[in-house]
Amino acid sequence: MNNMKFINVSLLFFLSLNVSSLFHPTSARGGLSTSNFSGSVDNHYVASARRLFEEKKLTMEQHLQRLEKLAEGYMSNADLEKAIKAFNRRCSSISRIYSIGKSVLGVPLWVIEISDKPGKDEPEPSFKFIGNVHGDEPVGRELLLHLANWLCDNYMKHPLATLIVDNIHLHILPSMNPDGYQLKRRGNANNVDLNRDFPDQFFHMNDDPGNRQPETIAIMSWLEKIHFTASATLHGGALVANYPWDGTTDEKKYYYACPDDKTFRFMASLYSNSHHNMSLSKEFPGGITNGAMWYPIYGGMQDWNYIHAGCFELTLEISDDKWPSASEIPVVWEFNKLSMLNLVASVIKTGIHGRVFSSDYGRPLQASISIKGINYTIKAGQAFADYHRLLTPGEKYEVIATMPGYKSKSTSIILGEEASTVDFILDPVVTFREDVLPRGCDCSFENRRLKLVEFFPGQQSEIFLLLVIILLFLCFLMKRRVILNYLRQKQMVGPKQSLVV
């Protein structure tokens, strides 16, 4: 009995070692969730396990030497910082740079923002690119500098560059994990896999903010400040566009669709089909995959973005080889260039966009926008009340705008290949007397009447009644004027574009 149990445990131990070292995906987006092996093991097995680890350590050293060689020609962290600053000097009219925090070892996490009005709030969608989440996947950080420079060189020359710069705020974080890059390993300086460090929807594994890595904290607080409509993280070790969900409730591997599955498949396919040969993949039909279908991971950044930041994020595996020789980077850039540009441009070229106003003072309303049949809500922006809802083209949608204190409105729209504009003007549900009328005019006379009756006893009360009627009439006139004012404002606010609801 005891023996049986013991054999099972040790079998499991070796299986988990072998499986995790053989399993190809471990090298790419993630790797299986850490095998949860625990239990007492006989000394003999501990010894052999130690031997195994020592062998592993040796190969790790060889591996490191190999990586140092492979890294020749790649930007160091210092080179990257210089390249970012040089870019900003060269393209200062359409860019700014800022840091969202520091890595464990104190390296600033630099972001390049590209827009015709960098740093200014505008009623436009924002997109973000994040590279080098895993320290040993450096291709993305190189490509992101290529992307920034290409946009700078082609603004006002190439229609895609002009469209992106004029209509989108593109934020680029070339390296989320500079320490891991320097150490030539997947995790950060604390050896934590940053793509497992976010709070998870199924398991309470990263719920304690005190245990969170500074790189993760930087991303999470960044997303509190800037609302991104969509984003992509760049990884290496495979060639596929991966979309939510990344995990399943029971840790098993199967297709687990999020509410916007169709839209995510559309976006992932847009990337794959614009790529040199991603869509020709034999392993992944169409060059795309649902994360949980590939292999479930927990604490990933992609699902967290969709759930908590209203941001549609893809995880892009952009090259089978994690470290192609540096001379091949321009080729990898050419393979991915159109995909990257098309993905960014999709946040303005497709979907439903608009703004939400109140019908009273024409205030911008930070309303919630949802689509009938899709259990997902996005919020309009704070300053301009603009919203940007990505959706699969060529379908009919019912768009619903809701705001506490206002009557909800909805409208049906057939979305073509192009984006549509739907603006909403919402009516308040409040009674005019309480919230809208100027304070000076109080239409309830009950209390006052009691007091006045004391002053004018007897016959005088008839005169008083007349007075009340005149006052009520005046109040009525005033309300009318206020309403007319609202209507006039409503017309002024009403936007010019395709549909106002």
Ligand X SMILES: *[C@@H]1O[C@H](CO)[C@@H](O)[C@H](O)[C@H]1NC(C)=O
The site for Zn ion (CB under 5 A) is made up of 134, 137, 235
H/E segment holding residue 236 = none
Among 64, 280, 466, 483, binds ligand X (CB under 6 A): 280
Distance in angstroms (rounded) separating the CA atoms of residues 33 and 426: 47
Q: Are 318 and 362 in contact (CB under 8 A)?
A: no
Residue the block writes with tokens 């990933």: 300
Residues 52 to 91 in contact with ligand X, rule: CB under 6 A: none
* Comparison of 113 and 317: residue with beta carbon closer to Zn ion: 317
Q: Are 239 and 286 in contact (CB under 8 A)?
A: no
305 lines the binding site for ligand X (CB under 6 A): no
Which one from 61, 137, 317, 446 is the annotated catalytic residue?
317
DSSP 136: T
491 lines the binding site for ligand X (CB under 6 A): no
Least separation in angstroms between residue 270's CB and Zn ion is 21
Indicate which of Zn ion, ligand X, none lies near residue 179 (CB less than 5 to 8 Å, by partner kind).
none
Indicate which of Zn ion, ligand X, none lies near residue 491 (CB less than 5 to 8 Å, by partner kind).
none
36 lines the binding site for ligand X (CB under 6 A): yes
Least separation in angstroms between residue 33's CB and ligand X is 6
Q: Are 170 and 127 in contact (CB under 8 A)?
A: yes
Pick the stretch among 69-77, 95-103, 156-164, 273-281 that binds ligand X (CB under 6 A).
273-281
DSSP-assigned states of every residue in 435-471: HTS-TT-----HHHHHHHHHHS-TTHHHHHHHHHHHH
412 lines the binding site for ligand X (CB under 6 A): no
Indicate which of Zn ion, ligand X, none lies near residue 137 (CB less than 5 to 8 Å, by partner kind).
Zn ion
Q: What residue ranges in 320-426 does DSSP mark as E strands?
A: 352-358, 368-371, 374-379, 386-389, 395-402, 409-415, 420-426
Least separation in angstroms between residue 12's CB and Zn ion is 27
Judged by CB under 6 A, the number of residues near ligand X is 8
Pairing of strands 238-243, 288-290: parallel
281 lines the binding site for ligand X (CB under 6 A): yes
Indicate which of ligand X, Zn ion, none lies near residue 325 (CB less than 5 to 8 Å, by partner kind).
none
Among 249, 277, 461, 485, binds ligand X (CB under 6 A): 277
Question: How many residues comprise the chain?
Answer: 501
DSSP-assigned states of every residue in 39-63: S---HHHHHHHHHHHHHHHHHHHHH
Pick the stretch among 23-31, 120-128, 277-285, 391-399 that binds ligand X (CB under 6 A).
277-285
Indicate which of ligand X, Zn ion, none lies near residue 139 (CB less than 5 to 8 Å, by partner kind).
none
317 counts as catalytic:
yes
Residues 129 to 158 in contact with ligand X, rule: CB under 6 A: none
Contacts of 349 (CB under 8 A, 6+ apart): 163, 418, 419
Among 16, 26, 33, 190, binds ligand X (CB under 6 A): 33
175: closest CA among 212, 129, 221?
129
Least separation in angstroms between residue 72's CB and ligand X is 21
* Comparison of 128 and 235: residue with beta carbon closer to Zn ion: 235
Indicate which of Zn ion, ligand X, none lies near residue 196 (CB less than 5 to 8 Å, by partner kind).
none
501: closest CA among 348, 301, 333, 359?
359
Least separation in angstroms between residue 473's CB and ligand X is 51
Pick the stretch among 101-109, 120-128, 184-192, 276-284 that binds ligand X (CB under 6 A).
276-284
Distance in angstroms (rounded) separating the CA atoms of residues 51 and 57: 10
Q: Specify the 3-state DSSP secondary structure of 104.
A: coil
Q: Residue with the closest Cβ to Zn ion?
A: 235
349: closest CA among 164, 210, 190, 195?
164
The site map against ligand X for 338-377 (x = CB under 6 A) is -------------------------------------x--
Least separation in angstroms between residue 449's CB and ligand X is 52
Angle among Cα 337, 341, 344 to the nearest 5 degrees reads 145
Contacts of 181 (CB under 8 A, 6+ apart): 77, 132, 135, 136, 138, 141, 175
* Comparison of 278 and 378: residue with beta carbon closer to Zn ion: 278
Residues 193 to 212 in contact with ligand X, rule: CB under 6 A: 205
DSSP 360: T
Contacts of 224 (CB under 8 A, 6+ apart): none
Indicate which of ligand X, Zn ion, none lies near residue 235 (CB less than 5 to 8 Å, by partner kind).
Zn ion
Binding residues (CB under 6 A) for ligand X: these are 33, 36, 205, 239, 277, 280-281, 375
* Catalytic machinery residues: 317
